[in-house]
Amino acid sequence: MIKVAVGIIFRNKTELLLCQRKPHLPYPLKWEFPGGKVITGETMEECLHRELKEELEINAVIGRLYHSQEYVYSNSGTFNIFYYLITSYSGEIINKVFESHRWIPISELSNYDILEGNKDVIEKLLHIKYPA
3-state secondary structure of 107: helix
* Whole-number pLDDT of residue 27: 92
pLDDT digits (tens, 9 = 90+) for 13-27: 889 999 999 999 999
pTM across the whole model: 0.93
pLDDT digits (tens, 9 = 90+) for 76-120: 788 999 999 999 999 999 999 999 999 999 999 999 999 988 989
pLDDT digits (tens, 9 = 90+) for 24-50: 999 999 999 999 999 999 999 999 999
Instruction: Select the CATH number that applies to the domain covering 2-126 from these four: 1.20.1070.10, 3.90.79.10, 2.120.10.70, 3.40.605.10.
Output: 3.90.79.10
Band the pLDDT of 1: cuts 50, 70, 90. confident
